[in-house]
Structure 1
Amino acid sequence: MNKRETGAYYENLACEYLVENGARILNRNFRNNKGEIDIIAKDGKYLAFVEVKYRSGDRYGAAEEAVGFSKQKVICRVSDFYMKRFGIGLDSPVRYDVVAIEVDETSAIHIRWHKNAFLYIPCKTW
């Protein structure tokens, strides 16, 4: 599999996991000129903007560690656009989540859903 196929495969796994755990997928690979959000889901009362990260092994650290400050800013900017485009009020409960997927040395797949993985970063921090 190439990188795009690998990414799509693990995003599909993440969607399945989220649905199995009560979320409803609203959108996938939502993008604008600022960047992309992998998954947008409804989880209870929350609108969840979800970044999916995959790692094979721990050579480069845990998968969730790859969602750094600059990626968080991008997700926040794209979420602003999404909310404006779909008329979602600023008083709506929103969350920024990370789904970390790792494959260990036995080829077992481990999925961790970090709800509220990071806080909203206001635009003026750019």
Structure 2
Amino acid sequence: MPGESSGGPPRRNLRSVGRYGEKLAESHLRRQGFRILARNLHLRHAELDLIALEGRTLCFVEVRLRSSTRFGSAAESVDRRKQRRLTRAAAEVLATRRLPGHDALRFDVVSVDASHEPPQVTLIRDAFRAN
């Protein structure tokens, strides 16, 4: 059927699931005092899900949603390859865009566990370091 890959749900459904996870993550961050600067920024190396400020710390946030832990947790899915892509994308943003003043930067992961009702949202600050 058009729009479907073999063995998986239609691609548009995957996108809507991703948007759902990102909305939950954004709400969670706002409740914790983050200021959201950008969403779904498509760059040469990767897509940055969220860019936010927590105080004077600029945060590049990767959102990962899992409906089961059968293949590992959402946070575990941010492997070294993904970390390198996100690091390069963040460097591109820093080199090409004007962002509010900040004293530090970090990479956070927001894990959304959709196997619970309501979904469990967990912020992992400083989840990995730029190499």
Tell me which interval the TM-score lies in, with the shorter structure as reference length: 0.7 to 0.9
Poorly superposed stretches of 4+, deviation over 3 Å: none
In the other structure, the counterpart of 1:48 is 59
Among 73, 80, 87, the residue aligned to 2:84? 73
Among 20, 28, 32, the residue aligned to 2:43? 32
Identity %: 34
Unmatched segments (≥5 aa) in structure 1:
122-126
Report the Cα distance in structure 1 between the residues aligned to 2:117 and 2:80, rounded to whole angstroms.
Answer: 30
Report the Cα distance in structure 1 between the residues aligned to 2:43 and 2:56, rounded to whole angstroms.
Answer: 25
Matched, 1:111 2:126: no
SS state at 1:41 partner: strand
Report the Cα distance in structure 1 between the residues aligned to 2:37 and 2:77, rounded to whole angstroms.
Answer: 24
Matched, 1:7 2:40: no
Unmatched segments (≥5 aa) in structure 2:
1-11
Shift of the alpha carbon at 1:87? 4.5
Matched residue pairs, number?
Answer: 118
Q: TM-score, normalised by structure 1?
A: 0.88
Shift of the alpha carbon at 1:26? 0.2
SS state at 2:127 partner: coil
Shift of the alpha carbon at 1:108? 3.1
Shift of the alpha carbon at 1:86? 2.0
Q: TM-score, normalised by structure 2?
A: 0.84
SS state at 2:39 partner: strand
Superposition pairs of residues 85-100 of structure 1, within 5 angstroms: 85-87=96-98, 92-100=103-111
After superposition, the Cα gap between the structure-2 partners of 1:83 and 1:92, relative to the gap in structure 1 and judged at 3 Å, is farther
Please provide the CA RMSD for this pair.
Answer: 1.5
